[in-house]
Structure 1
Amino acid sequence: MGTEAISSREIVLLSNASSNEKPSLVIEPTKGLFHVDLLEIWKHRELLYFLIWRDIKVKYKQTVIGASWAIIQPVMTMIIFTVIFGNFANIPSDGIPYPIFAYTALLPWTYFSQAVTRTSLGVLGNSVLITKVYFPRLIIPIASAVAPLIEFCLSFLVLTGLMAWFNVVPTWGIVLLPLFLLLALFTALGVGLFLSALHVRYRDVGHSIGFLIQFWMYASPVIYPLSLVPEGWRFLYSLNPMVGVIEGFRWAILGKVNPDLVAMGLSGGMVVTLLALGILYFNRMERYFADVI
């Protein structure tokens, strides 16, 4: 076994036998597959901050317009969706102007897709750290999932402009927006934990992420409303955790359509399930990371 046979719990043993004997540092394996040592992660918070800052800095290094790409990507996607699906295909938007209807869904979706992609590739991309230095391995996927939140905040500025342009006034539901964003983060983290651990052993995962994200987008109410899904398929469709996130965003920001509470409840349950399974599989595989990488 490599260095991953050790885990995140440190115990300092002070010997009373001799005053000249130095303290020993013993790192023991985690107990339980669902073990998450939050205290240990907090102790390494400076590393977490460094990894988040590094991901942002490296992504926009040697670019002409820098972080403006975080705004350009969802805006251009919104324009394309408006022309093709809003004008040509005449997809309904529940009485909401299609540009803001699409952009409100693109905000959480863009964050989710970036977070899943970065988290899935994060462990393998930090192989040098994993094989050389001890730290809680969960810090890597957490940092990868948190970093895109900075770009989300920049993209949100465009939404405020769209709301002013279309005279959309937010309702009290907007105070619940952080809750739906947290659900998006947990979904991305749960999926990313599973894929990142799987990617260490099977490099095919890196080639399939783009296809997975593209397929998942069309299986989510990004370009069409949930009301367009037939009633007979609504239950199965709502097992997609991003359904609740996107519907929650539209309700919290636009407040035009009452959310489907059953669909949002099913999606919320799937978020918890995905996160639990992601932690379970990651904890099971992390002890072999150093050997396989």
Structure 2
Amino acid sequence: MTTKPTKIIEPKSGWQLVDFEELWRYKDLLYFLTLRGIKARYAQSILGVSWAIIQPLFTTIVFTIVFGGLAKVDSDGMPYILFSYLALWPWNYFSGTLTESANSLIQNANMITKVYFPRMVLPLSSILSKLLDFIIAFVVVVGLMGYFRISPGWGLLVLPLLIVQLLMCSLGIGMVLSAMAVKYRDVKHALTFVVQILLYAAPVVYSTTAVPEVYRPFYILNPMVGVIEGFRAAFLDRPMPWEWIWPGSIVAVLVFVFGMLYFRRMERIFADVA
């Protein structure tokens, strides 16, 4: 009898970069997991994808009443509802990806223990599936700008770079959280209120100019500061705040690289503790 060749898959050792060739071979799996994540989010929902508009819009209305109306928070001369929504739009994507990616490995433990595939596909599919909500929420931006008769300027050309920064930050932190959540189940419990606290560490309900100058050099290291202020400048035809964008861009790249390396480092123990 002839024996079939056996391929032994061994865990990677050391701190290694992403195997993009392997990810490309499993692109179909990534596609179907992303599609499954989108369908599962709106399964048996009456309003369906409309929730991608309803949730940020009503949150923005509450912020406008509380912070713009009662607290009189300065919005740099912009209509507060547009000021806050342009911040809440990328922030919702960022916070949503953290929650989705942190739970991705735990929710798919059966797949991890039974079949081999690049484990990075799971948190990556969670992050990609949230892009649909991000795109749909853009409808409100168009509606608000039309209502206030505000036209965007040339700053929109910078928007793809800001989205790349947003994705890199989301991917980097998402990979770290997903790897930690497998070993430390406290992560998923702590993440809910941590995300709520982080909302006030970014200029969502206030402007970066409200931060005292003595703290601003440290504050702008938060990658979401440059993203949010860049979104506002791009759509409201204001000067692009590069002095707030480039420090966060450097941090986003470092977070992205560290997240990928950390995930690869921890990948070999996922099947043992999942």
TM-score of the superposition, structure 2-length normalised?
0.96
Divergent runs of 4+, >6 A: none
Percent of counterpart pairs with the same letter? 47
Structure 2: give runs of 5+ residues left out of the alignment: none
Aligned counterparts, 1:189-268, within 5 A: 189-256=171-238, 258-268=239-249
Residue aligning to 2:69 = 87
Once the 2 structures are TM-superposed, how far is the Cα of residue 32 of structure 1 from its aligned partner?
A: 4.6
Aligned counterparts, 1:86-105, within 5 A: 86-105=68-87
Q: Which amino acid aligns with 1:285?
A: M
Once the 2 structures are TM-superposed, how far is the Cα of residue 23 of structure 1 from its aligned partner?
A: 4.5
Once the 2 structures are TM-superposed, how far is the Cα of residue 221 of structure 1 from its aligned partner?
A: 0.4
Mapped to 1, the partners of 2:8 and 2:182 lie a distance apart of: 27
1:35 counterpart = 2:11: no
Aligned counterparts, 1:1-293, within 5 A: 22-30=4-12, 32-256=14-238, 258-293=239-274
Q: Which amino acid aligns with 1:96?
A: M
Once the 2 structures are TM-superposed, how far is the Cα of residue 104 of structure 1 from its aligned partner?
A: 0.6
TM-score of the superposition, structure 1-length normalised?
0.90
Residue aligning to 1:5 = none
- What are the superposed Cα offsets for residues 257-279 of structure 1, whole Å, 9 maximum, x if unpaired? x3432321111111111112211
SS of equivalent to 1:33: coil
- What are the superposed Cα offsets for residues 208-257 of structure 1, whole Å, 9 maximum, x if unpaired? 1111111111000001111111110001111111111111111111123x
Question: Is the 1:234–1:263 Cα contact (8 Å) retained in structure 2?
Answer: no
Moved more, 75-84 or 20-29: 20-29
Mapped to 1, the partners of 2:100 and 2:255 lie a distance apart of: 17
Mapped to 1, the partners of 2:107 and 2:271 lie a distance apart of: 13
Aligned Cα RMSD in Å? 1.4
Residue aligning to 1:4 = none
- What are the superposed Cα offsets for residues 122-155 of structure 1, whole Å, 9 maximum, x if unpaired? 1111101111111111111111111111011110
Mapped to 1, the partners of 2:207 and 2:272 lie a distance apart of: 47
Once the 2 structures are TM-superposed, how far is the Cα of residue 22 of structure 1 from its aligned partner?
A: 4.4
Mapped to 1, the partners of 2:68 and 2:55 lie a distance apart of: 18
SS of equivalent to 1:231: coil
Which one has a bigger Cα radius of gyration? 1
Mapped to 2, the partners of 1:74 and 1:181 lie a distance apart of: 18
Mapped to 2, the partners of 1:249 and 1:35 lie a distance apart of: 31
Q: Which amino acid aligns with 1:176?
A: V
Structure 1: give runs of 5+ residues left out of the alignment: 1-19
- What are the superposed Cα offsets for residues 172-198 of structure 1, whole Å, 9 maximum, x if unpaired? 111221221121111111111111111
Q: Which amino acid aligns with 1:265?
A: W
Mapped to 2, the partners of 1:76 and 1:181 lie a distance apart of: 24
Moved more, 283-292 or 20-29: 20-29
Mapped to 2, the partners of 1:179 and 1:146 lie a distance apart of: 17
Mapped to 1, the partners of 2:195 and 2:173 lie a distance apart of: 11
- What are the superposed Cα offsets for residues 70-126 of structure 1, whole Å, 9 maximum, x if unpaired? 110000011001111111111111111111111111110011111111011111111
